[in-house]
Amino acid sequence: MKFGSYPLDEAEGGVLAHSVKLERVVFKKGRVLSADDIAALRRAGRSSVVIARFDNQDVNEDEAAGVLARALAGPHAKVTAPFTGRANLVAETAGVVVLDRARLDALNLVDEAITFATVAPFEVVEPRQMIGTVKVIPFAAPRAVFDRCLEIARTGDAMVRVAALTPHRIGLIQTRLSGTKESVLDGTVRATRARIEALGSTLIDETRCDHDAAAVGQAIRDFQPQRPDILLIAGASAVVDRRDVIPAGIEAAGGVVEHFGMPVDPGNLLLLGRLADKPVLGLPGCARSPKINGFDWVLQRLCADLTVTKRDIMLMGAGGLLMETPLRGQPRERERPSTAAKAPRIAALVLAAGQSRRMGRNKLLLPIEGTPMVARTVDALIASVATDIVVVTGHQADPVRAALAGRSVAFVHNPDFATGLASSLKAGLAALPADADGVLVCLGDMPLVMPAHLDRLIAAFNPVEGRLICVPTYDGKRGNPVLWARQFFAEMHSLSGDVGARGLIERHAEALCEVAMTDAGVLLDVDTPDVFTTVAGTALPP
């Protein structure tokens, strides 16, 4: 790859290295400069520009990031569409992230051009949470570097996966001494139930017995008819030795003690045992508190059906110092809101209220390859990573609803559809989920817009980097749909007449990101019989 300042006469086809603000538009970095772009730069008084040029030994940043991310991702790890050399891995379900740390390090040691960052090993994640990101640092990766990274990614099992949390039936035994307060035991039940339910499992029962090895053994045996998947034992006094009451009680019931102690603080005094192939945990005293401790680390893995061995526990020391100190921030309490990065929640509006005057009939109901046009639009959205779909009806609302029967969409009716597009846009915006980060405004008569187009727009959306309005382009021409950040909803509500939100784009040029597509599907709306014939490959039905 060649990089540097080029005169405009030599810059066409180059990749813009830095954003350039002109009078009415901003050319973002990463833009492939067209002849029209060069002319605009020249009119603005520019004589040169900093660009990157590729050769046949380079792999485009998006291609490299996308291919590599797909090779790295295992079960329950979804790869988002690449954009600006970045492809994210997102959790598809709640679970525990499992990494191959050695291969991850080996990949990052190949070359500075390609990096792969993840959350911590065995971190508990939620659906849509980001768990990893592949980033190609320059605009293209050297092919030899890309090939070596891909080889590492494809050697062995998936480098990153999410072990899904599955429902487990968990029992709790508590021991008591003569001075033990029942209120303390009740508090342990509450804290334990909260932990268990947060992981999607159930505390099936709790029982109490004397703090005596024989009594503990009998309580364990009495629990067995309920067939718990995991059994927890909280002692009235902390376990201090392998021959103490709790481990002795486990052995008295026919179980084995596999390990005592862990390099996690708080949580040092955890005990790992087993009875008939089911885990039995002797809890450290800190387990009575809702704050994170070593017991949580073990329970999380068990609830994701991951085996926890003596060796696993002994390797938990790195990062295992969980004690609160004045140097740390807020306490890690379960009530603290999550700050984990999540994939943006992008809703979609399908504007399907128009009267189709130029077509002479409701074009949205016309079949293309046997499927009503509006249904093709909705099906593309369902197959994309958009999270919520709202269809705005107006003219012939009932037939439009019927054409979408069985599809997971919400409907909102616009009684003022005859006044123009703006009324439908406002009706749809009012029906969006309150936590939507942005919206794809889709026209119901664009049947050639595919899920890949939609996913690429969503991948481009990044408020932190100033990409708040994402517009698809083909051959330098802007098309639809357009993705808008939530901060523009209020301005969109102020529109009127048969005008969409296009006028807002010029007003907010600094927030615009033009997303190049590889085909013209984003430009073609089916407004006339001739266009229908071209798209459908058949004449307009009688």
Asked whether residue 258 is domain-assigned, the answer is: yes
Lowest model confidence (mean pLDDT) among 28-32, 310-314, 360-364: 28-32
DSSP per residue, 235-246: -SS---STTSHH
**Helix, coil or strand: residue 427:** helix
What pLDDT digit, counting tens, does each position of 384-393 carry?
999 999 999 9
Question: How far is residue 368's CA from residue 372's CA, in Å, rounded to a whole number?
Answer: 6
CATH number at residue 62: 3.90.1170.30
Identify whether residues 422 and 519 lie together within a single domain.
Answer: yes
What pLDDT digit, counting tens, does each position of 521-533 carry?
999 999 999 999 9
What pLDDT digit, counting tens, does each position of 439-459 carry?
999 999 999 999 999 999 999
Q: What is the mean pLDDT of residues 337-342?
A: 62
Q: Is the pLDDT of residue 197 over 60?
A: yes
Q: How confident is the model at residue 5 (pLDDT cuts 50, 70, 90)?
A: very high
Q: How confident is the model at residue 31 (pLDDT cuts 50, 70, 90)?
A: confident
- Domain with 22 in it: 2-53
Identify whether residues 112 and 7 lie together within a single domain.
Answer: no
Show the beta-strand stretches assigned E in 100-157.
114-118, 124-125, 130-136, 140-142
Asked whether residue 332 is domain-assigned, the answer is: no
What pLDDT digit, counting tens, does each position of 152-191 carry?
999 999 999 999 999 999 999 999 999 899 999 999 999 9
Asked whether residue 320 is domain-assigned, the answer is: no
Identify whether residues 404 and 476 lie together within a single domain.
Answer: yes
CATH number at residue 303: 3.40.980.10
Identify whether residues 354 and 406 lie together within a single domain.
Answer: yes
Among residues 274, 296, 314, which one ends one of the domains? 314
Q: How confident is the model at residue 324 (pLDDT cuts 50, 70, 90)?
A: low
User: What's the angle, vertex CA 330, arms to CA 324 and CA 331, rounded to 5?
Assistant: 50
- If we measure between CA atoms, which residue out of 488, 496, 501 comes closest to residue 443? 501
What pLDDT digit, counting tens, does each position of 488-512 carry?
999 998 888 776 677 788 888 889 9
- If we measure between CA atoms, which residue out of 454, 440, 442, 438 comes closest to residue 489? 438
Asked whether residue 97 is domain-assigned, the answer is: yes
Identify whether residues 389 and 430 lie together within a single domain.
Answer: yes
pLDDT at 98: 98
pLDDT at 461: 95
pLDDT at 304: 98
Asked whether residue 323 is domain-assigned, the answer is: no
Q: Is the pLDDT of residue 340 over 80?
A: no
- If we measure between CA atoms, which residue out of 131, 280, 164 comes closest to residue 219? 280
Let me know: does 223 contact 205? Beta carbons within 8 Å.
Answer: yes
Q: What is the mean pLDDT of residues 231-253?
A: 95
CA distance to 178, 344, 452, 463, 503, per residue, from 487 (Å) = 62, 14, 25, 10, 16
Contacts of 31 (CB under 8 A, 6+ apart): 15, 16, 37, 514
Q: How many domains does the chain have?
A: 4
CATH number at residue 12: 3.90.105.10
Identify whether residues 62 and 183 lie together within a single domain.
Answer: no
Q: How confident is the model at residue 326 (pLDDT cuts 50, 70, 90)?
A: very low
**Helix, coil or strand: residue 447:** coil
Among residues 134, 164, 194, which one ends one of the domains? 164
**DSSP designation for 467:** B
Identify whether residues 399 and 476 lie together within a single domain.
Answer: yes
Among residues 164, 189, 210, which one ends one of the domains? 164
Identify whether residues 36 and 68 lie together within a single domain.
Answer: no
Identify whether residues 204 and 287 lie together within a single domain.
Answer: yes
Asked whether residue 77 is domain-assigned, the answer is: yes
Question: How far is residue 475's CA from residue 520's CA, in Å, rounded to a whole number?
Answer: 8
Q: What is the mean pLDDT of residues 74-92?
A: 96
Let me know: does 273 contact 297? Beta carbons within 8 Å.
Answer: no
Residues of the chain with pLDDT > 90, as a percent, come to: 82
pLDDT at 232: 98
CA distance to 88, 281, 385, 498, per residue, from 459 (Å) = 9, 44, 9, 30
Asked whether residue 448 is domain-assigned, the answer is: yes
Q: How confident is the model at residue 465 (pLDDT cuts 50, 70, 90)?
A: confident
Let me know: does 172 contact 206? Beta carbons within 8 Å.
Answer: yes
What pLDDT digit, counting tens, does each position of 263-300 carry?
999 999 999 999 999 999 999 999 999 999 999 999 99
Question: How far is residue 338's CA from residue 130's CA, in Å, rounded to a whole number?
Answer: 13
CATH number at residue 433: 3.90.550.10
Identify whether residues 146 and 184 lie together within a single domain.
Answer: no
- If we measure between CA atoms, which residue out of 430, 429, 445 comes closest to residue 529? 445
Name the token pair of 103. Answer: 């291969």
Let me know: does 353 contact 416? Beta carbons within 8 Å.
Answer: no
Question: How far is residue 200's CA from residue 462's CA, in Å, rounded to a whole number?
Answer: 32
**DSSP designation for 438:** E
Identify whether residues 429 and 369 lie together within a single domain.
Answer: yes
Identify whether residues 27 and 83 lie together within a single domain.
Answer: no
**Helix, coil or strand: residue 90:** strand
Asked whether residue 321 is domain-assigned, the answer is: no
Beginning with the edge strand found earlier in the chain, give each strand of the sheet holding 48-53 in spatial order.
2-7, 48-53, 15-16
What pLDDT digit, counting tens, does each position of 395-437 carry?
999 999 999 999 999 999 999 999 988 999 999 999 999 999 9
